[in-house]
Structure 1
Amino acid sequence: MDVAELRQRLEHEPDALPLPERLLTAKLSPDFSLVEHALAWQDAASHHHILCPQDALYPSLLLQINDPPPILFAKGDINAMVHPSIAMVGSRAASQSGLAASYQLAQELAAAKVAVISGMAAGIDGAAHQGVLDMDGVTLAVLGTGIDVVYPKRHKPIYEKIQQRGCVLSEFWPQMKPYAGNFPKRNRIISGLSLGVLVVEAARRSGSLITARLALEQGREVFAVPGNILAGDHQGCHDLLRDGAKLVECAADIIEEVAALSKFHLEELHRRHHIGEELASDLPFASLLASVGYEATPLDVVVEHSGKTIELVLEQLLELELQGWVSAVPGGYIRLKRS
C-alpha cells in the first residue's frame, strides 16, 4: 500500500487513529544490511541460531503469549529450550541470604531435571545460573542486549558456560548495547518461556515484580520466597504471597504445583518438536518412555498417556529404571536421559 492509498483509506475510515505526516511520508522498507548482518552472525558458528515463530524449534510456550518475539537469536544448545523450565528472578542488589536461597533452589531444580531461566543480571539472576551450572544442569539466559553483548561484563564466565549446558537468547539484533527500556521488555520472554516464575528476593518497587505480573497475565504460576519482615528487601515477595502466590521453601513446592502443567507441556512438545522421533525402535519400551517427562510425572498420567494397563506400565517402568532411563521420585517418575 503506497502513501496515496493509505491517505484515501484513512479518509473513508474516520474512526481510524490519525497518523503523523512524517509516518505517512516515511519509507517503510526493511534495512537489508541488518538482515545480512544477522545471517552472517548465524553462519559464523554452528551453535548460532535464528528462530521465527514458524520454525518447529520455536518455543511452544512462547507462542502462547500475546506478543511473542518475531525473531529470536539463540547461542548454545538449542535443544535446551525443550526442557520444562522455571524462571527465577529477583533483586540485582541481593542480600547474602537471597543469593544463597537462589543458588540452593536452582540446584534443587536442576537435580529434578528442571531447567532454570533467568536474565543473567547481577544478584539473584547470576546466583540462579551459577547454581544450575555447578550441578551440570540446564539453564537459559534471556538478555536485554544483543546476543553477543555480555552485561554485566563480570558475568562473561557464566555467559560462556551457559552455552555449554543451555542457551543464551535475545530478541535484539547482535551488538545492541544495554538500553534501560529493553530489560523490562525482555521480561515477558523470561516468563513466557517458563511454566512458572519464582521471585526469590524483591523490594516493593523491584523490576522483578514486572516479570511476576507478566507471568500472571500469561497464565503462568507465580511463586515467592518469604524473608525477614524487618528487612525491606522482601516486601515485594510478601505482597505477592498476600495476593495468592505460592510460598516456596524448597524446589518440591514448585514441582508439585506445576506437575499438571508439565503434562500438557510434554504433549505440546511431542507435537511441535517431534520428540517421539528421538525414540528409536531399538530403545526399551519407547512409547512408554515418551510418556515420562523430565519432571515428576504422576503414575496415572503415564498410564493415561501411554494407553497401557497399569500392570504393564509398572512392569516396564521397573525395567526402564533398572536400565537407567527413569527414576522413581516422590509424585511419580522422571526421565533421566535422552536417547
Structure 2
Amino acid sequence: MYSSGKLGRELVFVSFFIFFWTCTSSATSGALSEPSIAAQHDAWMVQHGRVYPNSAEKHRRRQIFKYNLDFIQKHNNQGNKSYTLSLNHFADLTNQEFLASYTGALYNPHTLPPSSNTYHNITLTAADIDSSVDWRKRGAVNEIKYQGQCGSCWAFSAVATVEGITQIKTGTLISLSEQQLVDCASYDGCHGQSMERAFEYIKGNGLVREDEYPYTGRQWTCHRVGGVDLTMIRGYQSVPPQMEEELLKAVANQPVSVLLEAKGQAFQFYSGGVFDGRCGTELNHAVTAIGYDGDANGKYWLIRNSWGKQWGEGGYMKIRRDTGTPEGLCGINLHATYPVV
C-alpha cells in the first residue's frame, strides 16, 4: 500500500512525464492538441470576422483549419525551403473550395480572338534591360486589391496592366474599374474569362475610374457611366510562349498580364520568399508581372496578385524564374499579354 507522500511524488512524476512526452511528440510531428487547435481557430475567426451558421459547420471548418495548419507547420519545419507559409484568410477552405472561388483565368488557345495569335518580339536584347525592375518603385502600380469570392482575377490583371502603361505614358496613376469588366466584358464575369477578351473590350469601350464604377465582387447588369474620361488602349500584344527572355523584355517595358497554375496548398498559404513549390501548367489564374530580380534564394519574378494584402508579401509574390524549363515555374512563360496605348 502506497503512502500519501510516495503516491504524491509518483503522480507528480507521471504528470511531468506525460507533459514532457506530449510536448516532445508535438514538436517532432508538428501536431497540435485539440484544445490548442480550437484556441487558434477561435482566435482566427475573431481576427477575420468569420461566423458559421451552426455548430456542425464550425466543426467541419475547424477540421479543415487543422489540416491546413498541419500542412503549414510541416512545410516550415523542414527548414530548407526558399519560401514560407502561414495562416491567412483562406485557412478554413479546402484547396478545391479556394480554387473555385479565387481563380478564374480561362485559357483555351482554340477559342482566343484571332488577333491574339500575333506575337510581338520587343526590339531589345538582354544587355539593354536593367538587371532588376520593380514597377512599384516607378509609380506604375496601385495598392493591392481584393477580388473576393468572385473568379475575376482576369479583370484585376488586365486593369493593373492598363493602369501601369497609362502611368508610364502620362505620369499619372489612376485606379480603373474591374467591375466594369466583370459586368460588361463577360457573360459570367465571376466565373472567369480570357485576357484577350478583356483587352478586346477595353480597346472597344475604354475603362472608367474605379470610383465611378466600384467593385462589388458580384456580376450585375452592364451599365454605362456618362460624363467621365475613358482610359483607352489601341490593342494588345502577346509574348511568344516558352521564351522567358521575351517575357523578361516585356516586363522591363511595362507590367504584363501572365497566367499560371495556382493550385495546391503551398500557393494558397504562401507568405514570403522565393516560391518554388510543386505546380504544373494547367493555367487557371491571372496575375500581373510587375518586375523581376534575384536574391540569395535565386532569380524571381515579382507578381501582383488580387487576393488582398493578407496573402503573400503584402499581396505580392516572388516566384522562381530561370528554372531551365521552357514553360517556367507554374507555366508562367506560357501565356502573357500586355496592352498597347
TM-score range, shorter chain: under 0.3
**Greater RCO, 1 or 2 (C-alpha within 8 Å, sep 6+):** 2
Would you tell me which structure has more helix in proportion to its own residues? 1
Normalising by structure 1, report the TM-score: 0.23
Instruction: Report which of the two structures shows the higher radius of gyration computed on alpha carbons.
Output: 2
